[in-house]
Structure 1
């Protein structure tokens, strides 16, 4: 078979066959365990929504002019999406490193850019799948459908890309599963929970509100809330710019790590 048939990258050409194969592998990874990757996030988000709505909702009343459940739902959806996007790319690389078969990914004629895109496409695909499932559940249970569907798609894709890139960085840096768990528990989870998911930033003291505005995940949550129910704590345009710049930096670092083989090559 010719080099062209094999999809070998030459003179700057993209190895489309290799990239497609990597993307398909990443999608099949989470698709094979859909009860864990799709059904479980839906159940978890539903439990969060039910508990907070029944336990706190009656006392909170409306938040920013909308019912508490409707205010809470977009944040839960986005938080679940970014957590799953992070888990998809990080688990793929981490398992391959621990099992010693990461070389099977590094040996094919794939550039650092192509490897990065392959992992990111897998993370975005899982994030979109989770978002669709949860958005359908929110619509059927609360009757709340996206006020700005294109904006919702934008922030879901952007958030999945950002956290997919962070997943690549974390998995490459970590040497053991307990190190990966530490990154998840002490960095990713706090950033997700302290980002306005369960509350409006307007309710925070001034100092905490300023700190929250330094968290890029806040702008993802806030942008998704604007897209879903039409209200937000800050400008969605500002959020899009900040999240876009943060995502660009994260993806560049992830690409550099894969391109140089940092902590991947002996």
Structure 2
């Protein structure tokens, strides 16, 4: 039995203090620069809503039985949440690798699964805070009411977990900021924009509908839309099952990468 195993066992099956410390560090990372990590996404989401409202105008017909701007709001909220959740974990790991202090995270007696949970929880907290801010704006400015609050919260939290996990994988894979930017620009952003954020997938040809349903972000957007305004392209239960399954697989990959030291140890 290795010294690391003995060290972990001294704390019991779960190193709760170490896990809480990592979560607190990840939360404090974005809280100390809240104008960039919390306020800026709210402004960006507001600008998206304003631009679409002005560009399309009141002449745009209803979508799925609701005004277009109301249909659009949950998609903008969820897209903002997943982008920030991804950025939280990916930037944390990449910055640590570039600065050479990733060892400070790997050395403490934390199991690989505890490291994954710590990073992902920080991303979830950031995503939920961003979602709360945007939701308050939706209620105050658009006069919306939240149709199914529990579904809305569950999809927002699960979206933060999924994208936080993807951020861990991307952060471990990338060795420099250019690689991280490429992953964001060519993978994460297209998945977010081509997921039904700005339209109902039923408006697409059947072939494109089938392709869209391969994208797990579609189920996040669709489920969150059901939670906030009560309409969706698919069953929320099916969407949640898909998202949870994908999240589990990505977290398992992140766990394996940390356990084996993939791109983390020289």
- TM-score computed with the length of structure 2 as normaliser: 0.95
Q: 1:57 touches 1:69 (CA, 8 Å); kept in 2? A: no
In structure 2, how many angstroms separate the alpha carbons of the residues matched to 1:54 and 1:182?
32
CA offset digits 1:75-124 (Å, max 9, x no partner) = 00000000000000000000000000000000000000110011011000
In structure 1, how many angstroms separate the alpha carbons of the residues matched to 2:60 and 2:122?
38
Q: Give the C-alpha shift of residue 145 in structure 1.
A: 2.4
Q: Which runs of 4+ in 1 moved over 4 A?
A: none
3-state secondary structure, aligned to 2:264:
coil
3-state secondary structure, aligned to 2:265:
coil
Q: Which residue pairs with 1:33 in the alignment? A: 33
Q: Which residue pairs with 2:71 in the alignment? A: 71
Q: Which residue pairs with 2:122 in the alignment? A: 122
Q: Give the C-alpha shift of residue 147 in structure 1.
A: 0.6
RMSD: 1.2
- TM-score computed with the length of structure 1 as normaliser: 0.95
CA offset digits 1:105-156 (Å, max 9, x no partner) = 0000000011001101100000010000000011110011211111011001
Structure 2 residues without counterparts, runs of 5 or longer: 1-6
3-state secondary structure, aligned to 1:36:
helix
Q: 1:9 touches 1:109 (CA, 8 Å); kept in 2? A: no
2:187 matches 1:211 = no
Q: Which residue pairs with 1:163 in the alignment? A: 163
Q: Give the C-alpha shift of residue 10 in structure 1.
A: 3.7
In structure 1, how many angstroms separate the alpha carbons of the residues matched to 2:25 and 2:12?
24
In structure 1, how many angstroms separate the alpha carbons of the residues matched to 2:124 and 2:9?
24
Q: Which residue pairs with 1:242 in the alignment? A: 242
Q: Give the C-alpha shift of residue 11 in structure 1.
A: 8.2
